[in-house]
Structure 1
Amino acid sequence: MSDEKALSSLRQLAAEPAWRSAFIRQILALEAEIATPGVDIREEVTGPLVDALFDDDQVVRKTLSNGVTFEFLYRSKIARDFVMSQPETPDHAWEPQTSRILVDLARRAKQVVIGGAYFGDHAILIAREVAAGGGVVHAFEPNNEQRAMLQRNAELNGLTNIRPRSEGLWDDSSTNLKLVGYDSFASAEVTAEGADDGFRTITISDYLAAAGVNALDLIVLDIEGAEMAALKGAEPFLAQPKGEAPDILFEVHRHYVDWSVGLENTPLARFLTGHGYELFALRDFNSNYDLAGRPIELIPLGAIHLEGPPHGFNMVAVKDASVFDNDRYLICRDVSPKLLRHKDPALHHPIGGL
Structure 2
Amino acid sequence: MSNDPRDLDGKRLQRAMHLLGRDPALRARLVDLLRQAESSIAYDGAVRDDVVGPIVDALHDDKDVYHQQLADGTRVQYLYRTKIARDLLLSASERPTHVWEPQTTKLLLELAPRLQGDVIVGGAYFGDQAVLVAKAIAPAGLKVHCFEPNPDQAGMLQTNLALNQLGNVVVNHEGLWSRSGEHMRLDGFDSFANAVAASAGEGFETVAMDDYAQRLGLRVGLIQLDIEGAELSALQGAVGILDKDRPWVVFELHRTYVDWSQGLRATPLCQLFLSRGYEVFAVRDINSHREMPGKPVELVPLDTVYLEGPPHGFNMLAVPAKGLVDTPAFSVVDGVSPKLLPHKDVRLHHPVGGF
TM range (shorter): over 0.9
Aligned equivalent of 2:57, options 51, 55, 58: 51
Q: Give the structure 2 partner of residue 134 of structure 1.
A: 141
User: Cα distance, 1:343 vs. partner?
Assistant: 1.3
Q: Where in structure 1 are there 5+ consecutive unaligned residues?
A: none
Runs of 4 or more above 4 Å deviation: 2-10
Indicate the percent of aligned positions where both proteins have the same amino acid.
Answer: 46
- TM score, norm. by length of structure 2: 0.93
Query: Which residue does 1:144 correspond to in 2?
Result: 151
Q: Bigger CA drift: 168-177 or 103-112?
A: 103-112
Kindly provide the amino acid, as one letter, of the partner of residue 87 in structure 2: D
Deviation (angstroms), 1:21 = 3.3
For residues 102 and 85 of structure 1, what CA distance do their matches in structure 2 show?
21
Change over 3 Å in CA distance of 1:16–1:173 after alignment to 2? closer
Structure 2 matches for 1:315-334, cutoff 5 A?
315-334=316-335
Residues in 1 aligned to 2:24 and 2:262: alpha-carbon distance in whole angstroms: 53
Q: Are 1:271 and 2:272 an aligned pair? A: yes
The residue aligned with 1:65 is 71
Instruction: Tell me, in whole angstroms, the C-alpha distance in 1 between the residues paired with 2:82 and 2:54.
Output: 12
Superposed CA deviations along residues 284-343 of structure 1, whole A, max 9, x for unmatched, are: 011001111111111011110001111000000012343322222111011100111221
Letter in 1 for 2:325: F
CA distance in 2, matches of 1:53, 1:225: 31
The AA in structure 1 aligned to 2:204 is F
TM-score normalised over the length of structure 1? 0.93
Of 8-17 and 322-331, the range deviating more from structure 2 = 8-17
Q: How does 1:159-174 map to 2 (within 5 A)?
A: 159-174=166-181
SS at match of 1:338: coil
Contact 1:59 1:74 in 2 (8 A): yes
* Alignment check: 8 A CA contact 1:36 1:342 kept: no
Count residues in correspondence. Answer: 345
Deviation by residue 1:73-120 (Cα, 9 ceiling, x = unmatched)? 111110000100121321000000001101111212230100000000
Alpha-carbon spacing, 1:41–1:134, altered in 2? closer, same or farther (3 Å): same
Partner Cα separation in structure 1 for residue 27 and residue 181 of structure 2:
48
Shift of 1:6: 8.1
C-alpha separation between the residues in 2 aligned to 1:345 and 1:25?
A: 29
CA contact (8 A) 2:70 2:95 kept: yes
Which of 236, 246, 255 is equivalent to 2:240?
A: 236
Amino acid at match of 1:77: K
CA distance in 1, matches of 2:347, 2:43: 16
CA deviations 1:10-61 (Å, max 9, x no partner) are 64465143x4334323212322112533x12211110011112222111110
Cα deviations across residues 155-195 of structure 1 (Å, max 9, x unaligned)? 00010111000111111112110000000000000112123
Q: What SS class does the counterpart of residue 251 from structure 2 fall into?
A: strand
What amino acid sits opposite 1:303 in the alignment?
Answer: T
Corresponding residue to 1:204 among 209, 224, 236: 209
Question: Is 1:98–2:104 an aligned residue pair?
Answer: yes
- Cα distance in 2 between the residues matched to 1:147 and 1:134: 23
Worse-matched range after superposition: 124-133 or 8-17: 8-17
Partner of 2:302: 301
- What residue number does 2:348 align with? 347
Give 1:7 deviation, angstroms.
5.1
Q: How does 1:217-232 map to 2 (within 5 A)?
A: 217-232=221-236
Determine the C-alpha separation between the residues in 1 that align with 2:63 and 2:240: 41
The answer (yes or no) to whether the contact 2:71–2:96 under 8 Å persists in 1 is: yes
Whole-angstrom distance in 2 between the partners of 1:5 and 1:143:
31
Partner residue, 1:185: 192
Correspondent of 1:21 among 28, 49, 65: 28
Partner of 1:85: 91
Which whole-Å deviations, capped at 9, do the CAs of 1:111-160 have from their partners, x for residues lacking one?
A: 01000000000000110011111111000000001000001000000101
Give distance in 1, aligned partners of 2:213 and 2:42: 48
SS at match of 1:315: strand
Could you tell me which of 13, 34, 41 is aligned with 1:34?
41
Identify the match of residue 125 of structure 1 among 124, 132, 138: 132
Relative distance call for 1:261 and 1:6 in structure 2 (3 A) is closer
